[in-house]
Protein backbone atom coordinates (compact mmCIF):
# COMPACT_ATOMS: atom_id res chain seq x y z
CA UNK A 1 0.00 0.00 0.00
CA UNK A 2 2.81 2.42 0.94
CA UNK A 3 4.59 1.71 -2.39
CA UNK A 4 1.37 2.36 -4.32
CA UNK A 5 0.81 5.69 -2.56
CA UNK A 6 4.40 6.77 -3.24
CA UNK A 7 4.10 5.74 -6.90
CA UNK A 8 0.89 7.76 -7.26
CA UNK A 9 2.39 10.85 -5.59
CA UNK A 10 5.50 10.59 -7.80
CA UNK A 11 3.28 10.40 -10.90
CA UNK A 12 1.16 13.40 -9.83
CA UNK A 13 4.35 15.36 -9.08
CA UNK A 14 5.75 14.60 -12.54
CA UNK A 15 2.53 15.82 -14.15
CA UNK A 16 2.63 19.05 -12.12
CA UNK A 17 6.28 19.66 -12.97
CA UNK A 18 5.95 18.82 -16.68
CA UNK A 19 5.90 22.47 -17.91
CA UNK A 20 9.26 23.16 -16.23
CA UNK A 21 10.74 19.89 -17.52
CA UNK A 22 9.49 20.61 -21.06
CA UNK A 23 11.21 24.01 -21.10
CA UNK A 24 14.47 22.37 -19.99
CA UNK A 25 14.17 19.60 -22.59
CA UNK A 26 13.59 22.16 -25.36
CA UNK A 27 16.68 24.07 -24.21
CA UNK A 28 18.73 20.85 -24.33
CA UNK A 29 17.50 20.03 -27.85
CA UNK A 30 17.77 23.52 -29.34
CA UNK A 31 21.07 24.48 -27.66
CA UNK A 32 22.83 21.15 -27.09
CA UNK A 33 25.92 20.81 -24.95
CA UNK A 34 26.42 24.32 -23.62
CA UNK A 35 23.28 26.14 -22.56
CA UNK A 36 21.79 25.35 -19.16
CA UNK A 37 20.35 28.77 -18.34
CA UNK A 38 16.71 27.64 -18.22
CA UNK A 39 17.65 24.41 -16.46
CA UNK A 40 19.43 26.43 -13.74
CA UNK A 41 16.49 28.82 -13.32
CA UNK A 42 14.10 25.89 -12.88
CA UNK A 43 16.54 24.11 -10.52
CA UNK A 44 16.63 27.20 -8.29
CA UNK A 45 12.83 27.35 -8.21
CA UNK A 46 12.61 23.65 -7.30
CA UNK A 47 15.23 24.05 -4.56
CA UNK A 48 13.08 26.36 -2.44
CA UNK A 49 9.82 24.39 -2.53
CA UNK A 50 9.18 23.55 1.15
CA UNK A 51 8.18 20.42 3.04
CA UNK A 52 7.09 17.03 1.75
CA UNK A 53 5.44 18.45 -1.39
CA UNK A 54 8.71 20.18 -2.26
CA UNK A 55 10.60 16.91 -1.82
CA UNK A 56 8.27 15.13 -4.27
CA UNK A 57 8.35 17.99 -6.79
CA UNK A 58 12.17 18.28 -6.69
CA UNK A 59 12.55 14.55 -7.29
CA UNK A 60 9.98 14.70 -10.12
CA UNK A 61 11.81 17.60 -11.79
CA UNK A 62 15.16 15.84 -11.70
CA UNK A 63 13.75 12.48 -12.86
CA UNK A 64 12.54 14.31 -15.96
CA UNK A 65 15.60 16.48 -16.62
CA UNK A 66 18.82 14.77 -15.46
CA UNK A 67 20.57 12.07 -17.50
CA UNK A 68 19.08 9.60 -15.04
CA UNK A 69 17.45 10.06 -11.65
CA UNK A 70 15.71 7.32 -9.70
CA UNK A 71 12.24 7.99 -8.34
CA UNK A 72 13.48 6.30 -5.15
CA UNK A 73 15.80 9.02 -3.83
CA UNK A 74 15.61 12.09 -1.60
CA UNK A 75 16.83 15.54 -2.61
CA UNK A 76 16.75 17.97 0.32
CA UNK A 77 15.51 21.55 0.56
CA UNK A 78 17.84 24.09 -1.04
CA UNK A 79 19.84 21.46 -2.95
CA UNK A 80 20.68 22.29 -6.54
CA UNK A 81 22.11 20.36 -9.48
CA UNK A 82 24.09 22.83 -11.59
CA UNK A 83 24.33 20.54 -14.65
CA UNK A 84 21.82 18.17 -16.20
CA UNK A 85 24.59 15.62 -16.89
CA UNK A 86 24.10 13.82 -13.56
CA UNK A 87 23.01 10.30 -12.63
CA UNK A 88 21.30 9.50 -9.32
CA UNK A 89 20.71 5.83 -8.58
CA UNK A 90 18.04 4.49 -6.26
CA UNK A 91 17.99 4.97 -2.49
CA UNK A 92 20.38 7.94 -2.64
CA UNK A 93 19.89 10.54 0.10
CA UNK A 94 20.98 14.14 -0.53
CA UNK A 95 20.73 16.50 2.45
CA UNK A 96 19.75 20.17 2.49
CA UNK A 97 21.65 22.89 0.63
CA UNK A 98 23.92 20.55 -1.34
CA UNK A 99 25.46 21.93 -4.56
CA UNK A 100 26.01 19.18 -7.08
CA UNK A 101 27.60 19.36 -10.53
CA UNK A 102 28.09 16.68 -13.17
CA UNK A 103 28.22 13.45 -11.16
CA UNK A 104 27.28 9.78 -10.99
CA UNK A 105 25.99 8.91 -7.50
CA UNK A 106 25.73 5.18 -6.76
CA UNK A 107 22.87 3.51 -4.95
CA UNK A 108 22.51 3.77 -1.17
CA UNK A 109 24.94 6.71 -0.99
CA UNK A 110 24.36 9.43 1.62
CA UNK A 111 25.30 13.01 0.77
CA UNK A 112 25.25 15.29 3.82
CA UNK A 113 23.90 18.83 4.04
CA UNK A 114 25.93 21.63 2.44
CA UNK A 115 28.13 19.19 0.48
CA UNK A 116 29.63 20.56 -2.74
CA UNK A 117 30.48 18.16 -5.54
CA UNK A 118 32.59 20.03 -8.10
CA UNK A 119 33.69 18.86 -11.51
CA UNK A 120 37.39 18.36 -11.00
CA UNK A 121 40.07 20.93 -10.27
CA UNK A 122 40.42 22.49 -13.73
CA UNK A 123 37.15 24.39 -14.22
CA UNK A 124 39.04 27.69 -14.43
CA UNK A 125 42.48 28.38 -15.86
CA UNK A 126 44.59 31.44 -16.60
CA UNK A 127 44.57 33.07 -20.01
CA UNK A 128 47.53 34.73 -21.76
CA UNK A 129 47.15 37.89 -19.64
CA UNK A 130 47.12 35.91 -16.37
CA UNK A 131 43.42 36.39 -15.65
CA UNK A 132 41.24 33.49 -14.53
CA UNK A 133 38.89 32.32 -17.29
CA UNK A 134 35.14 31.86 -16.74
CA UNK A 135 33.49 28.45 -16.56
CA UNK A 136 33.57 26.40 -19.76
CA UNK A 137 31.58 23.18 -20.28
CA UNK A 138 34.57 21.81 -22.22
CA UNK A 139 36.52 21.52 -18.96
CA UNK A 140 33.85 19.59 -17.06
CA UNK A 141 35.12 16.38 -15.50
CA UNK A 142 32.35 14.06 -14.27
CA UNK A 143 32.87 12.83 -10.71
CA UNK A 144 31.83 9.31 -9.69
CA UNK A 145 30.54 8.55 -6.21
CA UNK A 146 30.38 4.74 -5.99
CA UNK A 147 27.59 2.92 -4.18
CA UNK A 148 27.14 2.97 -0.41
CA UNK A 149 29.31 6.06 0.17
CA UNK A 150 28.72 8.43 3.09
CA UNK A 151 29.84 12.04 2.62
CA UNK A 152 29.72 14.13 5.81
CA UNK A 153 28.26 17.60 6.14
CA UNK A 154 30.04 20.46 4.43
CA UNK A 155 32.53 18.30 2.53
CA UNK A 156 33.89 19.45 -0.84
CA UNK A 157 34.40 16.73 -3.44
CA UNK A 158 36.54 17.19 -6.56
CA UNK A 159 37.48 13.55 -7.29
CA UNK A 160 36.03 10.05 -7.45
CA UNK A 161 35.02 8.19 -4.26
CA UNK A 162 35.33 4.40 -4.05
CA UNK A 163 32.57 2.04 -2.94
CA UNK A 164 31.70 1.92 0.75
CA UNK A 165 33.97 4.81 1.74
CA UNK A 166 33.22 7.57 4.24
CA UNK A 167 34.26 11.20 3.89
CA UNK A 168 34.46 13.13 7.17
CA UNK A 169 32.47 16.33 7.69
CA UNK A 170 34.20 19.41 6.25
CA UNK A 171 36.74 17.37 4.28
CA UNK A 172 38.18 18.55 0.97
CA UNK A 173 38.75 15.69 -1.47
CA UNK A 174 41.11 16.57 -4.34
CA UNK A 175 42.30 13.08 -5.33
CA UNK A 176 40.50 9.77 -5.85
CA UNK A 177 39.54 7.81 -2.72
CA UNK A 178 39.91 4.03 -2.59
CA UNK A 179 36.99 1.76 -1.59
CA UNK A 180 36.11 1.02 2.05
CA UNK A 181 38.22 3.64 3.80
CA UNK A 182 37.53 6.66 6.01
CA UNK A 183 39.21 9.92 5.08
CA UNK A 184 38.99 13.33 6.75
CA UNK A 185 40.61 16.75 6.75
CA UNK A 186 41.71 19.44 4.33
CA UNK A 187 43.12 17.99 2.20
CA UNK A 188 41.43 14.67 2.97
CA UNK A 189 43.81 12.05 4.39
CA UNK A 190 43.48 8.37 5.21
CA UNK A 191 42.13 7.71 8.72
CA UNK A 192 41.32 3.99 8.75
CA UNK A 193 40.05 1.04 6.77
CA UNK A 194 36.35 0.28 7.10
CA UNK A 195 35.09 -3.25 7.59
CA UNK A 196 32.78 -3.99 4.67
CA UNK A 197 30.14 -5.18 7.14
CA UNK A 198 30.17 -1.90 9.14
CATH number of the domain encompassing residue 109: 2.160.10.10
* Domain that residue 185 falls in: 2-193
Rounded Cα gap, residues 65 and 74, in angstroms? 16
Would residue 43 count as lying in a domain? yes
**Is 70 inside any structural domain?**
yes
Question: Average pLDDT in the 104-124 region?
Answer: 88
| Inter-residue contact 183 to 191 (CB < 8 Å) | yes
Q: From CA 190, how far away is CA 167, in angstroms rounded?
A: 10
pLDDT value of residue 149: 97
Burial 188-198 (b: 16+ CB within 10 A, else e): beeeeeeeeee
Which pLDDT value is given to residue 119?
Answer: 82
Q: Please report the pLDDT score of residue 196 as a whole number.
A: 65
Query: Which residues is 81 bridged to in the sheet?
Result: 100
Classify residue 157: in a domain, yes or no: yes
pTM confidence score: 0.88
**For the residues 16-28, what does the mean pLDDT come to?**
92
Tell me whether residue 198 is in a domain: no
Work out the number of other CB atoms within 10 angstroms of the CB of residue 157: 26
Q: Give domain status of residue 76, yes or no.
A: yes
Please state the rounded mean pLDDT for residues 9-32.
90
Number of domains in the chain: 1
Residue 11 forms part of a structural domain:
yes
Alpha carbons 147 and 169: distance in angstroms, whole number = 19
Amino acid sequence: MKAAIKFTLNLISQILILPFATICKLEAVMLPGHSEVLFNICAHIMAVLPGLPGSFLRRAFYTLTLENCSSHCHIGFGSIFSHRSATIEQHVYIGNYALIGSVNIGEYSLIGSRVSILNGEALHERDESGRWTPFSADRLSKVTIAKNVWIGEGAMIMANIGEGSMIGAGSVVTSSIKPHILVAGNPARFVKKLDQTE
